[in-house]
Amino acid sequence: MLRKMLYFLMAITFWVSSSLASLTVDVDGVRFDTSVHAMAQRLHLTGAGVLRYLVFIKAYAGALYLPASVAAEDALEAVPKRLMLSYFRAIKGEDFAKATRKKIADNVTAGQAKRLESRVDLLAEMYRDVQPGDRYALTYLPGEGTELALNGERLGIIPGDDFARALFSIWLGEEPFDGKLKRQLLDRS
């Protein structure tokens, strides 16, 4: 009887742990949930990948979340979305600010960049230094704006569909940081 009870408990433990594991995906040792809530919106994992530089150095793992009804190719539209970035390396806040300014400028016209300048400056002020394991989340909700959070702590929100489109274009636009990561983020398989 005791043996049957132990087998039963082991089976239950295996079932629970495998069920919980199916609620996350592993990307180079980083776990991302398969769905998240953003306010009242449920967003589903669209794709995930790793940004590497100099071919083999991992900078961060990223995961993109969209509503199930939104096609991946519409990710830059005014639809709810979240981009989670989990860092493998320490990066200074000022480096985030420089890279954000450059990549937004690469993805918008000069006129758009000028109109976005004050909001990009506001975002640059929010950036903090990160250590390995830290996570930034960019969450856009139409009508609310784009929220920047570090390790679950809200750092601020910036209004505007135009700002959200420009910011998310850093990863999903015509001139992304990395074309391979863009394809991974938009891969709904």
Q: Above 60 in pLDDT, residue 8?
A: no
pLDDT band at 13 (very low <50, low <70, confident <90, very high): very low
* Half-sphere exposure (Cβ direction) of 153: Cα atoms closer than 13 Å: 7
How far apart CA 89 and CA 52 sit, in angstroms, is 11
Judge contact between 92 and 104, C-beta under 8 A: no
Model confidence at 9: pLDDT above 80: no
Say which DSSP state 72 is in.
G
Question: How high is the pLDDT of residue 21?
Answer: 40
Q: So what's the pLDDT on residue 178? A: 94
Least Cα distance to 139 among 80, 96, 188 occurs for 80
pLDDT at 3: 53
- Higher-pLDDT residue of 15 and 100 is 100
pLDDT of the residue at 151: 98
User: Which tens digit of pLDDT belongs to each residue from 30-86?
Assistant: 999 999 998 788 999 999 999 998 778 899 999 999 999 999 999 999 999 999 999
Give the bridge partners for 25, in sequence order.
Answer: 32
Q: What percent of the chain has pLDDT over 70?
A: 88
φ/ψ of 77, rounded to 5, equals: -70, 175
Task: Domain of residue 176: give its range.
Answer: 2-185
The pLDDT, as a whole number, for residue 15 is 41
Tell me which residue has tokens 């200074």. Answer: 92
CATH code, domain carrying 23: 3.50.70.10
13, with CB counted inside 10 A (0-12, 13-18, 19+), is exposed
pLDDT, tens digit (0-9, with 9 covering 90-100), for 103-112: 999 999 999 9
Give how many domains the chain has, as a whole number. 1
> CA 81 from chain center: how many Å?
9
Tell me what the mean pLDDT of segment 126-141 comes to: 97
Reference 114, options 106, 103, 105; nearest CA is 105
